[in-house]
Structure 1
Amino acid sequence: MTVDSSPGFAGRLTINGAELVVEAYGPEDAPAVIVHHGAPGLGSRAEPKRSFGPFADQYRVIVFDARGSGESSDDEPFTHEQWVADVDAIREYFGYEKIVMAGGSYGGFISLEYAVAHPDRVAALVLRDTAADNGHNELAVEKAKNTDRTMIPQWAIDRIGTGHFESNEQLREYWKAILPLYDHQHDPAKDAAKLAATRFHYRTHNAAFGQNMPRYDLKPQLPSITCPTLVTVGRHDWRTPVAASQVIADLIPDARLVVFEHSGHSPQLEEPELFQRTVRDFLDSAGIR
């Protein structure tokens, strides 16, 4: 199924003082799924739109560019607290008491933060290739050093997870250097397309990884999450490995962990049919229809 090119809502909303680009697909009276993209300063609504757009046959799918990313405005602060508050304001704007909160990679961090901050507003949680702390960063650096796919320059390796960028141009060169690490089956043409489609916001990226991540650790709060939770991850994910997802699944009561054997960091794109079927089965089993 393809995404309807005419969303039920598409526009710029003033959310907590920032101008956010928001799109909504699917029936207004259906259960709402708000999807948070990853990679602050690099990511955008394009990936959640592609990954969760097919769910608009049964759900109200809401995607957006977070403040400091994509086409949204660069209004600080770029903190987890602010991004969580923005999600809640979007929920309130569309008039939903409860939502399915979904997010991958850094979007998973915000999804977890949202579930901890607003447990009464989350009907279910869908996570993809994410983590509950920053303990996976050193392993990612080692994988980048030892990859046989490409020669990653040392300056780029030194900046993994640091937030030390001086310009959008430097962030672009870094993104270009590490893109070959992400997919299980490397395709240089796909990397080139991703690079060309990316809008760069280096200050957002710096705040996310230089300020937020060093103090990020939600492990003590995870047992308080009681909503149905699906944790998905690619077997070959270099950035947030299976072990990081296992920690989440172990700490959230009755969470379900699904490992995609033929994926890297993006099973929702590398194994889309299986990913969609897995999420649909989970939502059905959670009684969210």
Structure 2
Amino acid sequence: MTTAPAPTVKGTAPFGEFTTWYRVTGELGRGATPLVVVHGGPGSTHDYLANLAALAEDGRPVVHYDQIGNGGSTHLPDRDASFWTVRLFLDELDNLLRHLGIADDYVLFGQSWGGMLVAKHAAGRPAGLRGLVIADAPASYPLWRAEMKALRAALPPGVDATLARHEAAGTTRSEEYYAAMKPFYEKHVCRLVPWPRDYLASFYEIYNDPTVYYTMNGPSEFHVIGTLRDWSVEDCCADIAVPTLLVSGRHDEATPTTMRPFERLIPDVRWVLFEESSHLPHLEEPERFRAVLRAFLTDLG
């Protein structure tokens, strides 16, 4: 006897004069507390996290959404840096929770930049938040930038020099720069060969509209020169009052050094390391990842 797939509903939430695209797998208001998935970037899309929808098979609704500026949400390529703020994305998340009617009962999963965003959200102690998952995320960009230097230095001979030459010249959109990026991404972002379709979908979404990514992050994972370059959530981690799961990969660009402040500062926290993964353990070790996540969610009740 096979289990019927969980129903899926897609829609948009008005957000001021803009809209936020979302997808709900499962039925809100029935079953377990919904899991809201917050993607990375900033400026990526939900696609590379799509396989988390499988958790709806347990009767737990799963909410994916595209943050403003990318994917199915409103694109704003003409907005300047002053528009793209952390507060904008926090407000968008709050707005989505209210729109879906789940602000009084939800769990957050944040990956990479999304992990920092959900940590900041959780530090405000929203009454409806039941638990938190911070996946492959740094606690601060200064820590991240320092670790990127070390990871770059360990790349094959000549790669870092090529990257640095284009960064100094401002030619980071050149084919040579993209080619030189690849050894880093293959080692520290996604170690699967070939790259999965879900990951490629988000990768090309950034490529097609890099407004948010270039403004807030920079031209690559390891050259962070955008508006977030000095942002940190270390100062608010102690205010997180819900059970928190940290996950990361052994070869992750989010190195243990970048994630350790979460472990040190969040009162109720546990950390699981995925030995065969880099930045995307949910794709690189999907069965174990789902088992770990299911166990954590079950413990929340």
* 1:177-205 CA-partner distances (Å, limit 9, x unpaired): 74323356452x31798456611322211
> Displacement, 1:156?
3.7
Unaligned runs of 5+ in 2: 218-224
Secondary structure at the aligned position of 1:9 is classed as strand
Equivalent residue number for residue 15 of structure 2: 15
AA of the residue aligned to 1:203: T
Cα RMSD of the aligned pairs, angstroms, is: 3.2
When normalised by structure 1's length, the TM-score is: 0.84
* 1:20-79 CA-partner distances (Å, limit 9, x unpaired): 2211111222311111111223x21112222x1111122111101111122322245221
138, 141, 144: which one aligns with 2:146:
138
When normalised by structure 2's length, the TM-score is: 0.80
Q: Which shifted more, 138-147 or 22-31?
A: 138-147
2:111 is equivalent to residue 104 of structure 1: yes
Q: Give structure 1 regions of 4+ aligned residues with deviation exceeding 6 angstroms.
A: 164-175
In structure 2, do the counterparts of structure 1 residues 10 and 170 end up closer, same or farther at CA, with 3 Å as the change threshold?
farther
* 1:105-142 CA-partner distances (Å, limit 9, x unpaired): 11111111111234323110011110211112122233
AA of the residue aligned to 2:185: L
Equivalent residue number for residue 53 of structure 1: 53
In structure 2, do the counterparts of structure 1 residues 136 and 2 end up closer, same or farther at CA, with 3 Å as the change threshold?
farther
Unaligned runs of 5+ in 1: none
2:241 is equivalent to residue 226 of structure 1: yes
Equivalent residue number for residue 220 of structure 2: none
251, 269, 283: which one aligns with 2:297:
283
AA of the residue aligned to 2:21: V
In structure 2, do the counterparts of structure 1 residues 136 and 211 end up closer, same or farther at CA, with 3 Å as the change threshold?
closer
> Displacement, 1:2?
11
Q: How does 1:49-198 map to 2 (within 5 A)?
A: 49-50=50-51, 52-57=52-57, 58-75=59-76, 77-96=83-102, 97-134=104-141, 135-148=143-156, 152=159, 154=161, 156-157=163-164, 178-183=184-189, 185-187=191-193, 189-190=194-195, 194-195=199-200, 198=204
CA contact (8 A) 1:26 1:56 kept: yes
In structure 2, do the counterparts of structure 1 residues 183 and 82 end up closer, same or farther at CA, with 3 Å as the change threshold?
closer
> Displacement, 1:91?
0.6
Equivalent residue number for residue 221 of structure 2: none
Q: Which shifted more, 110-119 or 86-95?
A: 110-119
Q: How does 1:187-266 map to 2 (within 5 A)?
A: 187=193, 189-190=194-195, 194-195=199-200, 198-199=204-205, 200=207, 201-209=209-217, 210-237=225-252, 239-266=253-280
Q: Which shifted more, 170-179 or 91-100?
A: 170-179
Q: Which shifted more, 113-122 or 174-183?
A: 174-183
* 1:136-188 CA-partner distances (Å, limit 9, x unpaired): 2122233123224x96464545789x9x788799997786574323356452x
AA of the residue aligned to 2:195: K
Return the index of the structure with the highest Cα Rg.
Answer: 2
In structure 2, do the counterparts of structure 1 residues 170 and 63 end up closer, same or farther at CA, with 3 Å as the change threshold?
farther
CA contact (8 A) 1:144 1:157 kept: no
Aligned residues: 279
CA contact (8 A) 2:187 2:251 kept: no
